[in-house]
């Protein structure tokens, strides 16, 4: 131990620290300055913990406190507060550079050190300074713009007042700062791991290191004697069903007799500190008897393969889709292409690791105490019900903390099950804050697809038939597996009119990580196959791929692969909007093919359904005593900007200032059960339910002349209204034909990638992506473009780099997380065709932004160097091999 004197945010501190103690832990745990975040297991990979030490940006997880004698440290809390923010914090808020906000404090502190030394940095200098700071949400574009704006503020060239939108500009279509942004910019937004709970037990969980085994025995006797240990919890200690049933009852909180994937939880040790819990875990003796591994759908579908779940076949879902007569159309077509496309298992990669807090609230009336869960859920009401059943405790409440991104990963319950079970078993508060490595092990993944495809056209270049035999690796547990297959089939024909379709979607249990929602959830995979096949077919027909796509656009009155006829399809106008950009890009690429580095252009389109069959949402509004409005809707906001959406829609509808709208969205104790923040549905479904409630309130206010809650009640009218929204086109697809209900609306996009391929190394450098999008009237432009930019960046990662390999992918380096140095130029073209049933005509956009991306990248590689990469990710090795074989 060593006594250290230093200054933190101008305050002198004296600390006694062990030699290995790092600054991050002292800041967060001793000084309770939780603005600096922990993501990468203290490996210095993410920069979320960046603070300024002696005027230098330092990753505080890599700085030993023992080396800081006399140091001057500034954290994000020392920079400014929400009431008195620093100009850099203002710049991040006003630039739309803050989505989930988890990386924001680190980004801001890295920017602070840069701007102190260089008040007018170039974009290249900004990228260099922020090269160690990761962001999953933004694609880095707005972060670079925020640093540039901060420089302008600091140089006195402009002011936040001059940049900030005013009431005069109106509400809709104006980038009013997100209500939550400033708290995130100042480190004042509480993420789950930021909560300290006095007396809470910390957990360490033993997880299977092999993919399939029988649990023969567990001996925790030595672990229970270790210092600080409160006890060891196994499946036998869980009072409820021990099954986290999302749609199928197959996933245990803790495994009882069998483990089914690398990462399956076996037991939990609870102790007074994480270190004690981890040390005790080392003493647990577990004997596993390995079982045959179902390494993929091929192995699992073998007739001799054992069942992964005794009561469910490995082929757990099988949905054909048939429209017209595809086989006959294939025979009659002038051109047919055939190919096999495969996508990888991938991690959604929110920057914040999994985390749950569970604590008890005493019932003063003498009933059962209430177990409160704080976590990262995007569907708090549904998850609450899952937890009540699994854990056998009825009196429970769920609170959504600020959440460091999720991208589908939190559609299902993850760490909440074990944390809640431990709180019940030990009757103590519990903090379960797993490492990044453990978070990667325990969470769901994007499903891998294996697709055998045929696409055909007639001599005039009109699509005639499409066949897609898709096999989906479900992994060990179901979660939303069949929904992903459904969604793939619902959006199978993408942007196009294809009169004949023959498809089959099969979902197969394996011993791989369990698949679940991942941004787009199905359509990004099938659209990769369709859009690459479109390129192949255009090539075979000798027609321009741009014109080929436009020619084959679906039109109102024609039907999708589900047979549902569409009433609106504003895709052709989007193509026309992109046309001049495409012409420019093709010309520039043609001039860049002579040397080792070759340039290519690729296109991808997408039509993403919003408001699925039978989807329903509810929201409540209440007129307040001061004439303001409170909105009660469980509309999770892990970074998309749903707080902006709810606030701006309310202010617009009721003609009140934004600051008179109060949101209650995070607690099962006071919100309407609005459904998941998934499927890009929040704006369309919850926004519509909100408007429905507001219209009722407005009518009551207008008919009575009331301006406040007391006036309204005095006039005999309620102050609170419930709004609803439902897609009446409900029900499953026909099990034989795959024909049936579909989405109520679509968001449309076309993306164009410009890139370079190094023919010697196989490395790809994306130069620019241009997205033309039509999501209806825009509510908040910076939120819309922020989603698109982040989606493009994520889509490129999916196309070129990212893959989750169980046991090998354990941090951000092995995952190949996109950095600011991978970032590229982005341009967005917006069209705003109103959707008749959307809230003020709007739809959603959160997932569409990466649906066309991977095929656009692969098509551009083909355009550059003439090879097809049909198995994602398109790594340099695969490209080199394809070039060698060409």
Write out the residues near other proteins by the rule CB under 8 A: 246-247, 363, 365, 367-368, 370, 379, 381-382, 384-385, 388-389, 394-397, 411, 480, 483, 517, 614-620, 632-634, 668-669, 671-676, 678-679, 720, 722, 726, 730
What are 470's strand-pairing partners? 451, 505
With beta carbons less than 8 A apart as the criterion, state whether 767 and 842 touch. no
Residue entry with tokens 């909105």: 631
Bond from prior residue into 429 cis (ω within 30 degrees of 0): no
Q: What is the dihedral of CA 153, 157, 162, 163, to 10 degrees?
A: -60
Nearer to other proteins, 573 or 673 (CB): 673
Q: How far apart are CA 272 and CA 203, in angstroms?
A: 9
- Find the length of the chain: 886
Q: What is the C-alpha to C-alpha distance for residues 823 and 123, in angstroms, rounded to an integer?
A: 11
The values of phi and psi at residue 399, to 5°, are -120, 125
Report the relative pairing of strands 213-219 and 285-290 from DSSP bridges.
antiparallel
* 768-791 core/surface letters (b: 16 or more CB in 10 A; e: else): bbbbbbbbbbbbbebbbbbbbbbb
Any alpha helices (H) in 542-570, and if so which ranges? 545-551
How many Cβ atoms are within 10 Å of 190's Cβ, its own excluded?
13
Q: Which helix (H) or strand (E) holds 652?
A: helix 642-654
* Cβ neighbours around 429 below 10 Å, total: 20
SS3 23: helix
Distance CA 191, CA 801 (A): 29
Nearer to other proteins, 52 or 678 (CB): 678
Give dist(CA 450, CA 299) in Å, integer: 14
- What angle (nearest 5°) sits at the alpha carbon of residue 163, between those of residues 158 and 166? 140
Hey, is 481 helix, strand or coil?
A: helix
Q: Does residue 337 sit in helix, strand or coil? A: strand
306 Cβ contact partners less than 8 Å away, ≥ 6 residues apart:
291, 292, 294
In the chain, what are the helix, strand and coil shares in percent, each to the nearest 5? 35, 25, 40
CA distances to 43, 224, 267, 274, 409 from 221, rounded to whole Å, are 33, 5, 13, 19, 35
The burial of 756, by beta-carbon neighbours within 10 Å (0-12 exposed, 13-18 middle, 19 or more buried), is given as buried
The catalytic site residues sit at 847
Count of C-beta atoms within a 10 Å radius of residue 841: 18
Cβ–Cβ < 8 Å for 428, 460 = no
Joined together, the tokens standing for residue 618 give 């509810």
CA gap 752, 770 in Å, rounded: 5
Q: 10 Å Cβ neighbour count for 805?
A: 15
How many other CB atoms are there within 10 angstroms of residue 5's CB atom?
A: 12
CA distance 788 to 774: 12
- Between CA 445 and CA 434 the distance in angstroms is 17
> Helix 104-117 vs helix 87-94: angle between axes, to the nearest 10 degrees?
120
Q: What is the rounded end-to-end Cα distance, in angstroms, of the chain?
A: 63
d(CA 639, CA 98): 8
Cβ atoms of residues 804 and 445 within 8 Å: yes
The total of other beta-carbon atoms located within 10 Å of residue 581's CB is: 17
């Amino acid at each position: 131990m060593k006594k250290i004197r230093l200054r933190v945010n101008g305050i002198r501190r004296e600390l006694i620290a062990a030699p290995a103690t790092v600054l991050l832990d002292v800041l967060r745990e001793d000084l309770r300055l939780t603005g600096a975040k922990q993501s990468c297991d203290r490996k210095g990979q993410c920069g979320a913990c960046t603070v300024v030490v002696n005027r230098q940006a330092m990753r505080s997880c890599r700085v030993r406190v023992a080396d800081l004698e006399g140091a001057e440290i500034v954290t994000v809390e020392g920079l400014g507060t929400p009431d008195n923010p620093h100009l850099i914090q203002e710049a991040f808020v006003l630039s739309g550079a803050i989505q989930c906000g988890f990386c924001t404090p680190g980004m801001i502190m890295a920017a602070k050190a840069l701007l102190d030394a260089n008040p007018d940095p170039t974009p290249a200098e900004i990228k260099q300074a922020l090269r160690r700071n990761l962001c999953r949400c933004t694609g880095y574009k707005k972060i670079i713009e925020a640093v540039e704006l901060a420089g302008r503020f600091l140089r006195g060239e402009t002011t936040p007042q001059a940049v900030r939108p005013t009431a005069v500009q109106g509400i809709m279509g104006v980038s009013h700062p997100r209500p939550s942004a400033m708290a995130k910019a100042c480190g004042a937004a509480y993420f789950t791991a930021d909560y300290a709970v006095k007396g809470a037990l910390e957990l360490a969980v033993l997880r299977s290191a092999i993919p399939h085994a029988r649990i023969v025995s567990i001996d925790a006797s030595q672990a229970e004697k270790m210092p600080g240990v409160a006890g060891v919890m196994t499946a036998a200690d869980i009072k409820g069903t021990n099954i986290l049933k999302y749609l199928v009852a197959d996933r245990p909180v803790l495994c009882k007799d069998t483990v089914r994937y690398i990462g399956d939880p076996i037991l939990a040790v609870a102790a007074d500190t994480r270190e004690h819990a981890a040390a005790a875990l080392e003493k647990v003796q577990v004997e596993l008897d390995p079982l045959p591994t179902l390494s993929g759908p091929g192995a699992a579908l073998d007739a001799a393969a054992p069942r992964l779940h005794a009561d469910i076949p490995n082929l757990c879902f099988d949905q054909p889709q048939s429209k017209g007569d595809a086989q006959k159309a294939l025979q009659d077509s002038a051109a047919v292409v055939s190919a096999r496309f495969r996508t990888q298992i991938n991690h959604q990669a929110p920057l914040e690791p999994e985390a749950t807090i569970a604590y008890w609230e005493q019932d003063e009336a003498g009933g059962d105490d209430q177990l409160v869960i704080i976590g990262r859920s995007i569907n708090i009401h549904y998850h609450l019900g899952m937890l009540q059943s699994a854990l056998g405790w009825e009196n429970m409440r769920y609170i959504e903390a600020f959440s460091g991104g999720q991208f589908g990963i939190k559609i299902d319950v993850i760490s909440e099950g074990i944390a809640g079970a431990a709180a019940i078993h030990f009757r103590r508060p519990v903090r379960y804050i797993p490492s990044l490595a453990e978070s990667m092990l325990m969470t769901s993944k994007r499903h891998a697809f294996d697709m055998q495809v045929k696409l055909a056209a007639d001599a005039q270049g009109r699509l005639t038939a499409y066949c897609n035999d898709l096999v989906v690796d479900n992994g060990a547990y179901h979660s939303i597996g069949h929904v992903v297959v459904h969604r793939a089939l619902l959006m199978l024909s993408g942007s196009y009119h294809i009169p004949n379709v023959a498809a089959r979607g099969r979902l197969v249990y394996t011993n791989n990580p369990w698949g679940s929602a991942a941004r787009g959830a199905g359509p990004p995979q099938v659209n990769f196959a369709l859009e690459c096949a479109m390129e192949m077919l255009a090539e075979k027909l000798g027609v321009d791929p741009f014109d080929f796509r436009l020619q084959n656009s679906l039109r109102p009155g024609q039907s999708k692969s589900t047979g549902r006829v569409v009433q609106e399809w504003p895709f052709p106008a989007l193509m026309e909007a992109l046309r001049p950009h495409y012409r420019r890009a093709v010309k520039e690429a043609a001039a860049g093919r002579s040397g080792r580095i070759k340039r290519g252009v690729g296109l991808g389109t997408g039509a993403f359904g919003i408001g699925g069959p039978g989807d329903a949402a509810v929201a409540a509004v209440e007129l307040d005593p001061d004439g303001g409005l409170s909105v009660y809707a469980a509309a999770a906001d892990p970074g998309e900007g749903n707080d902006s959406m709810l606030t701006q829609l309310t202010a617009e509808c009721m003609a009140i200032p934004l600051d008179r709208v109060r949101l209650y969205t995070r607690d099962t104790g006071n919100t309407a059960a609005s459904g998941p923040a998934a499927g890009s549905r929040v704006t369309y479904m919850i926004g519509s339910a909100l408007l429905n409630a507001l219209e009722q309130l407005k009518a009551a206010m207008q008919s009575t002349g009331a301006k406040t809650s007391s006036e309204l009640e005095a006039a005999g009218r309620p102050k609170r209204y419930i709004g609803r929204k439902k897609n009446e086109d409900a029900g499953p697809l026909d099990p034989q034909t795959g024909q049936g209900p579909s989405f109520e609306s679509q968001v449309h996009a076309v993306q164009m990638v410009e890139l370079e391929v190094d023919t010697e190394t196989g490395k790809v450098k994306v130069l620019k992506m241009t997205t033309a999008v039509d999501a209806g009237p825009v509510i908040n432009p910076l939120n819309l473009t922020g989603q698109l930019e982040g989606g493009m960046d994520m889509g490129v990662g999916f196309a070129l780099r990212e893959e989750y390999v169980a046991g090998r992918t354990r941090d951000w380096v092995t995952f190949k997380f996109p950095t600011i140095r991978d970032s590229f130029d982005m341009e967005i073209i917006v069209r705003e065709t109103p959707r008749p049933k959307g809230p003020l005509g709007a739809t959603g956009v959160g997932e569409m932004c990466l649906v066309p991306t991977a095929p656009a990248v692969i098509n551009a590689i083909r355009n550059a160097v003439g090879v097809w990469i049909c198995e994602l990710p398109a790594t340099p090795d695969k490209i080199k091999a394809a070039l060698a074989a060409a």
